[in-house]
Structure 1
């Protein structure tokens, strides 16, 4: 049976390769004569359908399903094999047959994934926020290396972190934000002469202008386009989301709080049981050098209180989610999440973004005291409480906290409590920074769909 499947795969691969060569010949004839064979567009779209089917059978059904919900167009003027624009609330996936058909099957599938990652991470709008501050080439390179690090089988002209590091004498690493890459490349470019920055390839592909068509995206329908993308992602994620997508989404935002320092302070303060160590002899049998002694373990419980009251906007919530994600990365143990407004609505545990549940329906006003009452009633005295809120609640707690420490993360200018009984961190999030958390917005949408 394995041999039959292997031979069938070879036959399918030969068939799609033959179709690609025929279409490529037609495309080359068009560039020389200016006349395109009748039926070429239909046959090219059929070739894309065959690629999609191959992606499904190859375990990449997420990307095939995504592509199936877009409008596909041919454009010989593109300076890159693929491009995408938002038009009338729809995602338009564009292909330059000439450069796209030069790609082998696996390379073509990689370029489809490349463009989908750009769409998921909302690079179209983030590029607009960067273009008046940084060099165009730096933005283009930053966008490409921020997604290409998650893709295999890319064509030779696709820029990677290593190639950018060598060209600009940098030491960029994986899992950084688009904005970080762009700023680093821009600073390096400013120290070089323009001649050394020419990245136009021998095959006519120009990295600097690769994303020029994005400017055609219609900004007046941005909300409609956002909803369309969410619907497409929900459809594509019907059978689950690939691990590389989850990894991309997890790196979509950078927190503002030094969680490593905050957690380290908690580690030094709250004992939690005992742990074995070779640094101390066993008290009961001190002559047994082969036995480990014990030390107190300072690994605190962490509880996150998440304000889901009606006064918390979607933008504010995305800022909170970014910080929660950063916190999970700095703490190996599970974290308790309390969703609350004027009472505690839900209590569950998380280890990573995949465990974050879709939010409950937004309610009325905010009261801080119910969280502290809940901590006392459930005997969570050793917990380190991180309370995410807009700061608008009562001015006095109904009881003195029984747990050891509280960190208030306030998205606003102040907290209404006269005595917050803990540290207060004012989290300022502007529009540009919220855009960086777009992957988290997408993830929450997918989680909401899966939970139905």
Structure 2
């Protein structure tokens, strides 16, 4: 007598053999024609998605039926070029879940369910949006591992290769806490990755080239490439994507939800927008280290038993550079408001603020301690180049650079930032940053309407505006 479980296993084995045949045919054909595409037979596609339907039915029959109803509303496709059993993106006004048969068919039923839940939790956590905002300052590996830690914390029956908090703590010598935001894990992991890379010699890439002989076939899980298909997502407004996601969630609510899932959905519904630039700056200030001086009263942290090495104290002032693009569309009112926000945020830190006025070159540099020290902008309107400011910041060992601009300038920096954080603030009249690689987060500055174009710095009220006037807050 053949049981349901045996029948399912037989289906899996049959499909796995067929998937290997498809790949073998493709590789043989490629030897003759390098441009040949993978041909997925219709009968294989139909049988594979019938198997996925069986997995979906299993999801809908248990307490996690939310995932089953959510999957029903997603498009599906077969891809051999993804380095995980499943992957997702947003394309054609719908979420698309992709399956790599070579990896997916190696899993048992419960693991198949978990990998589908994994993708849906990425959606509910708005990881497609949040990951994009961290791309400038973090590596793909750190971002991908951070996202996977978050969603895998809530899942059982994970695939054997799944990244968990315990695995990351053990392999990266960390003590990360559970149930923290994705951004927390990304920051800690990036620091650990940077430290490992600094301690290791550069190895030849020959082994990597051998393991990736064909970019259309992936046979092993690779956390660094696991979410590459997100880059194929349609360009859609953040608010519209969130509203679309909420609609699918509402259509999937057919029963009771686990507490963790109800909490994640509540967070999504209560999120109101992007974190304002000023609150983001406040976060950055907590991570900025001031310059260090040598001391004989503290041992060296890296080599505490070397008494001949002196320790360090963080007693020097942190150097903060505020660059103002005078060639663009940032008004006096916008900059007055912005610089007051900067001064209010950094006043409790041991810091030194330098203002740079620039267009295609640096026009003026001066230090400020209060709003009284801010001078009227010089009346020069040239082109825009970002590189001179970064050259100045590199030479003067800055700790933080805040760059106010309309975003129109070079597409590539001639001087890359060295050892400091960068925050771009785009004018309310600006569109986006012209640089292909920003080397830091890019935020928008809300437009301030001015009644008098001749406004001077001395006309600005000391009380300024509330920080909540800038943008809606997303926590």
* CA deviation after TM superposition for structure 1 residue 240, in Å: 3.0
Aligned-partner SS, 1:89: coil
1:241 pairs with 2:293: no
Counterpart of 1:214 in structure 2 is 230
1:112-158 Cα offsets, whole Å, 9 max, x none, are: 00000001111111111001101211111001001100000001101
* CA deviation after TM superposition for structure 1 residue 223, in Å: 4.3
Matches within 5 A, 1:94-173: 94-173=98-177
* CA deviation after TM superposition for structure 1 residue 427, in Å: 5.5
In structure 1, how many angstroms separate the alpha carbons of the residues matched to 2:222 and 2:77?
A: 20
Counterpart of 1:20 in structure 2 is 12
Work out whether residues 102 and 219 of structure 2, in 8 Å CA contact, stay in contact via their aligned partners in 1. no
Work out whether residues 62 and 242 of structure 1, in 8 Å CA contact, stay in contact via their aligned partners in 2. no
Counterpart of 1:397 in structure 2 is none
Work out whether residues 55 and 113 of structure 2, in 8 Å CA contact, stay in contact via their aligned partners in 1. yes
Counterpart of 1:90 in structure 2 is 94
In structure 2, how many angstroms separate the alpha carbons of the residues matched to 1:75 and 1:160?
A: 25
Counterpart of 1:377 in structure 2 is none
Which of 36, 59, 62 aligns to 1:58? It is: 62
Aligned-partner SS, 2:253: helix
In structure 2, how many angstroms separate the alpha carbons of the residues matched to 1:191 and 1:157?
A: 24
Aligned-partner SS, 2:195: coil
Matches within 5 A, 1:258-277: none
1:388-419 Cα offsets, whole Å, 9 max, x none, are: xxxxxxxxxxxxxxxxxxxxxxxx934xxxxx
In structure 2, how many angstroms separate the alpha carbons of the residues matched to 1:197 and 1:146?
A: 31
Unaligned segments of structure 2, at least 5 residues: 27-38, 212-217, 280-463
Unaligned segments of structure 1, at least 5 residues: 1-6, 257-411, 415-425, 438-452
Do the aligned partners of residues 14 and 196 (structure 1) sit closer, same or farther apart at CA in structure 2, a change above 3 Å counting?
Answer: farther
Aligned residues: 260
In structure 2, how many angstroms separate the alpha carbons of the residues matched to 1:30 and 1:221?
A: 38
Counterpart of 2:465 in structure 1 is 413
Aligned-partner SS, 1:92: strand
Aligned-partner SS, 1:192: helix
In structure 1, how many angstroms separate the alpha carbons of the residues matched to 2:219 and 2:8?
A: 23
Aligned-partner SS, 2:77: strand
Which of 227, 252, 261 aligns to 2:243? It is: 227
In structure 1, how many angstroms separate the alpha carbons of the residues matched to 2:233 and 2:4?
A: 37
TM-score, normalised via structure 1 length: 0.52
* CA deviation after TM superposition for structure 1 residue 31, in Å: 1.4
Deviates more, 1:218-227 or 1:74-83: 218-227
1:11 pairs with 2:3: yes
Counterpart of 2:418 in structure 1 is none
Counterpart of 2:23 in structure 1 is 31
In structure 1, how many angstroms separate the alpha carbons of the residues matched to 2:469 and 2:107?
A: 45
Do the aligned partners of residues 247 and 26 (structure 1) sit closer, same or farther apart at CA in structure 2, a change above 3 Å counting?
Answer: same
Counterpart of 1:192 in structure 2 is 196
* CA deviation after TM superposition for structure 1 residue 93, in Å: 1.1
* CA deviation after TM superposition for structure 1 residue 171, in Å: 0.6
Do the aligned partners of residues 208 and 240 (structure 1) sit closer, same or farther apart at CA in structure 2, a change above 3 Å counting?
Answer: same
In structure 2, how many angstroms separate the alpha carbons of the residues matched to 1:236 and 1:81?
A: 23
Do the aligned partners of residues 251 and 184 (structure 1) sit closer, same or farther apart at CA in structure 2, a change above 3 Å counting?
Answer: farther
In structure 1, how many angstroms separate the alpha carbons of the residues matched to 2:264 and 2:166?
A: 18
Aligned-partner SS, 2:196: coil
Do the aligned partners of residues 16 and 182 (structure 1) sit closer, same or farther apart at CA in structure 2, a change above 3 Å counting?
Answer: same
TM-score, normalised via structure 2 length: 0.50
More helix by share: 1
* CA deviation after TM superposition for structure 1 residue 193, in Å: 2.5
Aligned-partner SS, 1:39: helix
In structure 2, how many angstroms separate the alpha carbons of the residues matched to 1:413 and 1:246?
A: 36
In structure 2, how many angstroms separate the alpha carbons of the residues matched to 1:20 and 1:147?
A: 26
Counterpart of 2:412 in structure 1 is none
Aligned-partner SS, 2:226: coil
Aligned-partner SS, 2:254: helix
Do the aligned partners of residues 41 and 429 (structure 1) sit closer, same or farther apart at CA in structure 2, a change above 3 Å counting?
Answer: farther
In structure 2, how many angstroms separate the alpha carbons of the residues matched to 1:47 and 1:211?
A: 24
* CA deviation after TM superposition for structure 1 residue 235, in Å: 1.2
Backbone CA RMSD of aligned residues: 3.2
